[in-house]
Structure 1
Amino acid sequence: MVDVSRFLNSPAITPTIDEIRAALNGEAPTKIYNPDQKIAPHAYRHDYRAAAVLIPIYHCPIDNQLQVLLTQRSLNMRNHPGQIAFPGGKHDAEDASIQYTALRETLEEVGLAPDCFELLGDLGEYCSISGFCIKPVVAEMTRMSELSLSEEEVEQVHWVPLNHLLDPSNFSYVEREIGNLKRGYFEISYHGLRIWGVTAGIIFGLYQAIENHSHD
């Protein structure tokens, strides 16, 4: 169990790529804590489908900062239109691995080929109310390539400093009624972007993995 209030008052962390790699190469990761499951457990299925997202991290030489690539889903999509997300999608039976799923979906959505990335490791699964157990795959973007966005899936992309995302003071925890169901989720704001729900929850999981490793 995670003390949400304690997390929100935790210090910011500013890891290097090597520190992220070290944090993700330890013991098998546990599932990311989702406070919504505690509030509305009856709304979560037990027959989950597998999915994966890629967390692409790029060391920008211009400002010497680690930046994270996020997508804004197409406004025409049936599910979660316009929301901020990581590139990713459901695991297909023909996919060689869950890591392959994350890389394949990234190529399809934003045009970045697998050879642009060096995999750093995985986080624990994040189980969503929509019935997916999502495996976040963390990767360093070692080669910048021109983006080619899928018009059907991606409205635009955003680069957000990793340090901003790993600062709990930039998080808020929200509880509200959605469709007559009480829900609870994390939310992060960045220059007008609203990063919330699954995406913010996965970022919370990344913070937890790095912070826990620093105390080992």
Structure 2
Amino acid sequence: MLDVSHFLESPPLTPSIDEIRAALDIEASNSIYNPDQHIAPQAYCHEYRAAAVLIPIFHCPETGQLKVLLTQRSLNMRNHPGQIAFPGGKHDPGDASIQYTALRETLEEVGLSPDCFDLLGELGEYCSVSGFCIKPVVAEMTRMSELSLCEEEVEQAHWVPLNHLLDPQNFRYVEREIGNVKRGFFEIIYEDLKIWGVTAGIIFGLYKAIENHSRN
């Protein structure tokens, strides 16, 4: 079981694209630790459905920074309105692969076509309280293209520095009672964005994958 306090005191990571690719080669089969699943297992008794998200990373030539694309879900969405998320969604029966799901959803939500990306690898699945096992697919955006947001699903899009997301000092671990059951999750604050729940959990998983690789 993860020592959350130890993680929150861990050093920041500033990986290159090649280091991210190398770290993902060995992480695709290891599930991402979800603290909520361990403290409230009764909330995770599901027949899980498959889903995927894309973690698009862009090397900004002006600043030399790596930046990650995040979206704000439409305020009119039935599930999780207004939350910060990666582009993605459920795996449809007609999807050729889970990677195809992530790329298809990205095209539908923000208008970025698959030929904008070079796939770097995958993280292990993140199981959510809503009944999805989510496969994060990590990709370098090799061709910048203008975003075209699907207004029904996406309110805004944001490019967030990767080094901010991979600094545990920018994380908080929150526990609260919901319906008399203790729940726990990570959250990250960047400017006026609050990134929490599944999205923060997946970012934590990316941190751990890169950290584990750097120790080997």
In the superposition, the TM-score normalised over structure 2's length comes to 0.98
Classify the secondary structure of the residue corresponding to 1:184: strand
Give the direction of change, closer, same or farther, for the CA distance of 1:154–1:27 in structure 2 (3 Å limit): closer
Q: Deviations over 1:94-153 (max 9, x none)?
A: 000000000000000000000000000000000000000000000000000011000100
Partner of 2:90: 90
Partner of 1:209: 209
Classify the secondary structure of the residue corresponding to 2:70: strand
After TM superposition, the structure 1 stretch with the greater mean CA deviation from structure 2, 185-194 or 170-179, is: 170-179
Give the direction of change, closer, same or farther, for the CA distance of 1:28–1:82 in structure 2 (3 Å limit): closer
The amino acid that maps onto 2:16 is T
What is the rounded CA distance, in whole Å, between the counterparts of 1:114 and 1:2 in structure 2? 35
Q: Deviations over 1:158-210 (max 9, x none)?
A: 01000000000000000012344321000000001000000000000000000
RMSD, aligned α-carbons: 0.9
The amino acid that maps onto 1:156 is Q
Partner of 1:18: 18
The amino acid that maps onto 1:199 is T
Q: Deviations over 1:9-61 (max 9, x none)?
A: 00000000000001011264310000001111001023100000000000011
Partner of 1:149: 149
The amino acid that maps onto 2:20 is I
What is the rounded CA distance, in whole Å, between the counterparts of 1:27 and 1:152 in structure 2? 34
- 1:2 correspondence with 2:2: yes
What is the rounded CA distance, in whole Å, between the counterparts of 1:151 and 1:180 in structure 2? 36
What is the rounded CA distance, in whole Å, between the counterparts of 1:180 and 1:151 in structure 2? 36
What is the rounded CA distance, in whole Å, between the counterparts of 1:40 and 1:22 in structure 2? 34
Q: 5+ unaligned residues in a row in structure 1: which ranges?
A: none
The percentage of aligned residue pairs carrying the same residue is 82
What is the rounded CA distance, in whole Å, between the counterparts of 1:157 and 1:150 in structure 2? 11
Classify the secondary structure of the residue corresponding to 1:95: coil
Contact conserved, 2:99 with 2:137, CA < 8 A, in 1? yes
Q: Aligned runs of 1:164-203 on 2, under 5 Å?
A: 164-203=164-203
What is the rounded CA distance, in whole Å, between the counterparts of 1:60 and 1:47 in structure 2? 41
The amino acid that maps onto 2:17 is I
Partner of 1:127: 127
The alpha-carbon deviation at position 62 of structure 1 amounts to 1.4
Question: After TM superposition, what 4+ stretches of structure 1 lie above 4 angstroms from structure 2?
Answer: none
What is the rounded CA distance, in whole Å, between the counterparts of 2:210 and 2:78 in structure 1? 34
What is the rounded CA distance, in whole Å, between the counterparts of 1:56 and 1:179 in structure 2? 36
